[in-house]
Structure 1
């Protein structure tokens, strides 16, 4: 199937690139350019949870609670009760209201009420809360309209103002994520381009993976914009799509270009090189992308719209990357031919070392020689790295996800410390259908709750609904407080719903643990089936899943050590603390997808060698050697892209970026180069076991028939073009074997001995 498509791509090489590029540009210009206006800040909650129902009841009855949208903290050395300070603050707030009547709905000011609770104990700080008029995404737009006027202009000497509040924090987080994408574009792409130039040594070859990466992102943003028209798409999804889509798209392009150049090196015609590259690397790219898509689709099991929107966007990017790699790239290869090496930046002979002389061949051979020791040492080390995971803590998104030096973060920290009873994330109890006596009964029960900043206070009652609220003294006690509220006995005919941000965080975590086993089962079963079809074995998929789990555990352990326990927090500029459960689920899906992706690239080449009759150990060494340089380069490229996001101001982006960096570093070195060869050596012939029907399916989809048996021939008179930097010269992968009669019945073996062609076939373990 893939071989036939490769020939078709060559025949249609002048048409396919134009059609594909035209469709992608139309998708982006028509929809993707409007994505920014369609994205949402919401989607973190479980839509079926009690806290969501409580929020809906409260909003339908009282309207949106906007009391904590924007907090203005006024500081005055002479004291906020000073008449001059009070007059200046009143004038400041009145000016805001007069300039922005459509954005500011209500004001609650200490300088009007003189409420002692709104003034600090030392009298130098007081606050004013601004309630914004808009609902949903309009709230953020209202804040951005008034944001430029929230400064110290017009205030007397010694008086200053800080801006805090839920909407101010949301805006700072949104701005940080937008900066992440710009940083990736400004710094990540140039570094990736340099790496590709080093790998290929040719400007034209280096541009091919970048071409796939950029088009994939543009197309994915267009698809995400279409989805945002009728689904809730969180703003965070754009950054994840850029990070994951760009990295994988470039990786897929890298594998395709490398295989095409390898086929040309064998002496294949351009037409055959295009077809064989599509049938081998192209097939592997498609199945690798399917692995990643399966991992990402596991996010759809969870109820949060945030996870669903990230899954939609990332699946779009990965799917487009694979599609472009097997459509546009083969067609462009057909157009370029040997000009793929044009604009070379160095001149190096393609006749380099034998593959057996490369480090990539020697490393797995050493690992197989010491297989038991390597297996015990590596597995033990990975399990040791997993241990910190036992200290993981979960929480919600808040100002601590901003850098400690960020102005909004500092303002919010100051407000929380000075006015704990007015925290912008109170826990709430929505009471519906209660008469006065029943309401008193509920209120008295809340007096027994521990861990609150003050007793729960009741607001006004409308249509039989009352909201009780209070702050939680310590965020780490959220679950403890929520459990106490859930234990309150509702009087007959009264409905109680626990709500507020603390309840949302607790229920989000509960949804994680309820659905995570189902996600794990789904990923294991589907990827097992796909890998069985790719490898023609039932042992290889089981081994791959175990390897992936070892790498995943080690990565999560390192992340816990950093982001929960604080290792390196001062150097990297973040505050350690609880992790958002949706972010943990997301990083699990990403790491699982990347690990199985690299496993497919590595083991597929081993299977190719095995199908040609090589011994198990020889197939392991050849497969590792042929993919070692490319997998390392692909991992480096992904690490560079992730590192651009690792400089993010937002802790959750740091978490994902460093998660990818550690996972890739562990996977591409320790696991792929040492542990996989060692374990496969110990399994020996069991590596390739599968029932007959699996073998039939394996052959039916074209495995084992993509590439003819490699037979060495005398070197061609002309030296081939330059190889990629560090790319091993594969002396046993020469042109397809010529007809025996055409050679006079003789050919050259791998060690240079001139032998009859039939004898060589016997040595390769095949029928002559």
Structure 2
């Protein structure tokens, strides 16, 4: 099948190139501005008690806007918020906000200052009258609309007259935090484009020793990313797609497409180095490296597809975007790239430096550094395997202390103005939490209502007693109370859900802490089944690819070792706090969904490298090599390419290490650790040592299963 495709691409190279590039550019045009259609939601479990209770409360009383935007006013030194000039400046600003921005700002919920038509309360100023607040509602019915509307008016809350008097205005609240997160994420993507792409171009030049060869994987990567943006834009017409998809598409699309291009271009140059014609080189490159790219992409899709089994919109949307990107990267790699290679032929080495060119024959490659390293490892396989396995297990040990949490202002740097304002607001006004726990009570009144609230007030970790948010309506009333630490909410939630209400009354727990709690519970509940299904599917796909049952089992075990070590490193850094001051973040619980995403990507990439390494071993084996020689030959041919591919992904994801968002740092450092462990320690040392110990049994599979693989046509023999 792949040999036939290689022939067709060479014969119809201009047609294939024209159709594919036109299609990808059309998708790119459709995807322009796709980020404006992305959502800020999807972090909850739609089927949870907390979401159902929040929906009931919102449908009955309207959306709770108290925490949308909190403006904290601080009087000049030596004065109070009652100072006439200060008060005049603040009331003038508050009085004009809704009038000046009626499509963005809904109302002033309440403030300390006297403003026409606005509720004024003395409790909205501190006892010493140095600080006062205003709660402001933003127009919008969903997270996306709310965040976008806030972004449009975020500068309107600041007051130059207050600054000139020596006072201060700080802005925080739910929408301010969401806006800061969104802005920082956009900056991260721009930074990646500015820093990573030129660095990757330089790295590819040194890998290939020529401008033309180095440009080809970049062309594939660029076309993949812009084409994937169009696909994501299409998804937004049918389902909610979280804004986090944008950096994932850029990272996965650019990194993986360049990796695929690297493998195919390297194979093409190798075939030319063995003296073959351009037509034969294209055919063999598609049949070998192209086939491996397709199977590798299929396994990565299977790994990422596990995210679709979770109920969270965030994970589903990231899965949609990343799966589409991986599939498009593989498609571009086996269409656009072979067509370009067919057109270029030996000119693939043009604009290069002779002493840097890497076009060598197979014999030269097999007797090179990677072949010698593999032979050295296989001379002492037990020692190498034991040392590496023990080392990876040691790195995994910190996982026992891992903690999961939700997204909040602590994901911003400690000195971020929005985060500083939130911390100061929480300290000065502990009874005005923007993310309280809520009780939605139905069918209770009088003494029965008192019985419920009495039990609720005994919950641990509260900063205040539960109080009603308003009057009852249709037999429903909502109570709320703030927590000392919203990340330590589990005991309080479990206590509240254990309340025994009177007959006919129901008590449901909601609020941001409860929604996050239920979200994490849903993740933990479905994770084991998802992991088992993904492993089974990947094992089956690897068997169909290589015809061995032992190889996929070995691959899964090694991937588990690498993934465990990666999670241990992340725990050591982001929960234990090693390097927190240097990297400017606050240690704390890791966002569960981001960690799951990292796990899915790492599992997929690990399988990707395993497929590329094993494909060369299987190819050598089918040509009659012994297991030992097949391992040496396969590693010699793929070692340099896998290392280069890992370096490219490290450069791409490493740009996120400079992010101000701690969750982007998770991805950066998690991917860097995983890639270093996987591409070097596991693929270059552990795999050869274990393969040597397994010997010929590494290729075993039941004869009946072998026949199935051959009947399906997936055991295509190499030329």
Question: Residues 249-277 of structure 1, C-alpha deviation per residue, up to 9 Å, x if partnerless?
Answer: 11001001000111111111111111100
TM-score, normalisation: structure 1: 0.90
What is the match of residue 47 of structure 1? 46
- Describe the superposition over 1:169-213 as per-residue Cα deviations: whole angstroms up to 9, x where unpaired: 001101111111111111111111111111111111111111111
Q: How does 1:582-731 map to 2 (within 5 A)?
A: 582-700=593-711, 706-708=717-719
1:458 maps to which residue? 468
SS at match of 1:142: helix
Distance 2:195 2:401 in 1: 35
Q: Aligned partners of 2:17 and 2:628: how far apart in 1?
A: 41
Are residue 225 (structure 1) and residue 233 (structure 2) matched? yes
Q: Deviations over 1:144-183 (max 9, x none)?
A: 2221222231225121100101001001101111111111
Q: Distance in 2 between matches of 1:396 and 1:497?
A: 20
1:290 aligns with 2:298: yes
Quick one: distance in 2 between partners of 1:647 and 1:549? 28
1:357 offset after TM fit, Å? 4.1
CA distance in 1, matches of 2:267, 2:127: 71
SS of equivalent residue, structure 1 residue 467 = strand
Question: For 1:567-589, what per-residue CA distance to the aligned partner results, in whole angstroms no more than 9, with x for missing partners?
Answer: 11111121111111111111110
- Tell me the distance in 2 between the aligned counterparts of 1:695 and 1:6: 26
Aligned to 1:337: 345
Contact 1:103-1:142 within 8 A present in 2 as well: yes
Q: Structure 1 residue 281 and structure 2 residue 286: aligned?
A: no
Of 432, 437, 445, the match for 2:442:
432
Partner of 1:239: 247
What residue in structure 1 maps to residue 139 of structure 2?
Answer: 133
- Equivalent pair of 1:298/1:523 in contact (CA under 8 Å): yes
Distance 1:705 1:509 in 2: 44
Q: Is the 8 A contact 1:355 1:625 kept in 2?
A: yes
Whether 2:278 is the aligned partner of 1:270: answer yes
Match of 1:541 among 552, 559, 564: 552
Q: Secondary structure at the match of 2:677?
A: helix
Give the Cα–Cα distance (whole angstroms) in 1 for the partners of residues 525 and 290 of structure 2: 38
Match of 1:509 in 2: 520
- Secondary structure at 2:431 match in 1: helix
Query: Which residue of 2 is the match for residue 520 of structure 1?
Result: 531
Alignment of 1:369-448 (within 5 A): 369-448=379-458
2:206 maps to which of 193, 198, 207 = 198
* In structure 2, C-alpha distance between the alignment counterparts of 1:530 and 1:342, rounded to whole Å: 38
Q: Does 1:477 align with 2:484?
A: no
CA contact (8 A) 2:547 2:709 kept: yes
Offset, 1:126: 1.3
In the TM superposition, what is the alpha-carbon distance from 1:348 to its structure 2 partner? 5.0
Alignment-derived partner of residue 720 in structure 1: none
2:308 and 2:258 map into 1 onto residues whose CA distance is: 26
CA contact (8 A) 2:547 2:715 kept: no
8 Å Cα contact 1:551-1:663 kept in structure 2: yes
Structure 1 residue 695: Cα displacement: 2.6
Cα distance between partner residues in 2 of 1:562 and 1:486:
34
> Would you say 1:149 and 2:156 are equivalent positions?
yes
CA shift for structure 1 position 496: 1.9
Answer whether contact 1:3 1:706 (CA < 8 A) is retained: no
Q: 568-577 or 140-149, which moves further after superposition?
A: 140-149
- Give the secondary-structure state (helix, strand or coil) at the position aligned to 1:567: coil
CA shift, 1:692, in A, is: 1.6
Give, in whole Å, the separation in 1 of the partners of 2:356 and 2:48: 63
Counterpart Cα distance in 2 of 1:537 and 1:342: 41
Asked if 2 retains the 8 angstrom alpha-carbon contact of 1:164 and 1:411, the reply is yes
Assess if the C-alpha contact under 8 Å between 1:426 and 1:501 holds in 2: yes
Q: How many angstroms does 1:378 deviate by?
A: 0.4
Cα deviation for residue 437 of structure 1 reads 3.4
The DSSP-based 3-state class of the residue aligned with 2:332 is: helix
Give the Cα separation in 2 of the matches to 1:122 and 1:302. Answer: 50
Instruction: Map 1:50-65 to 2 at 5 A.
Output: 50-65=49-64
Distance apart, 1:511 and its partner CA: 0.6
- Of the three residues 129, 136, 142, the one matched with 1:123 is 129
Q: 1:142 deviation in Å?
A: 2.2
Q: Please report how far the alpha carbon of residue 664 of structure 1 lies from its aligned counterpart in structure 2 after TM superposition.
A: 0.4
Q: Secondary structure at the match of 1:449?
A: coil
d(CA) in 2 for partners of 1:645, 1:554? 21
Task: Write the distance in 2 (CA, Å) between the matches of 1:255 and 1:621.
Answer: 18
Which residue is equivalent to 1:99? 100
CA change 1:276–1:356 in 2 (3 A) is closer
Report how far residue 701 of structure 1 moved: 5.7
Give the stretch that moved more between structures: 631-640 or 482-491: 482-491
How far off is 1:700 after superposition?
A: 4.8
2:576 aligned residue: 565
For 1:15 and 1:117, the matched residues in 2 are separated by 73
Name the residue aligned to 2:322. 314
Q: Which residue of 2 aligns with 1:207?
A: 215
- The 10-residue stretch of structure 1 (695-704 or 269-278) with the greater mean CA deviation from structure 2: 695-704
Task: Give distance in 1, aligned partners of 2:718 and 2:202.
Answer: 32
Structure 1 residue 475: Cα displacement: 2.6
Q: 1:110: how far off?
A: 1.2
CA spacing shift, 1:329–1:702, aligned 2, 3 Å: farther
Q: Hey, what does 2:565 align to over in structure 1? A: 554
CA shift at 1:327, angstroms?
A: 1.4
> How big is the shift at 1:351?
5.9
Partner Cα separation in structure 2 for residue 538 and residue 46 of structure 1: 37
| Deviation per residue, 1:523-572 (Å, 9 max, x gap) | 11000001111121110000000000000000000001111111111111
Q: Distance in 2 between matches of 1:624 and 1:405?
A: 48
Closer, same or farther: CA 706–329 of 1 in aligned 2, 3 Å: farther
Q: In structure 1, how many angstroms separate the alpha carbons of the residues matched to 2:377 and 2:305?
A: 35
Query: Is contact 1:24–1:218 with CA below 8 Å preserved after alignment?
Result: yes
Give the Å deviation of 1:407.
1.2
Q: Secondary structure in 2 aligned to 1:332?
A: helix
**How far did residue 408 of structure 1 move?**
1.0
Superimposed CA distance per residue, residues 717-743 of structure 1 (whole angstroms, 9 cap, x where no aligned partner): xxxxxxxxxxxxxxxxxxxxxxxxxxx
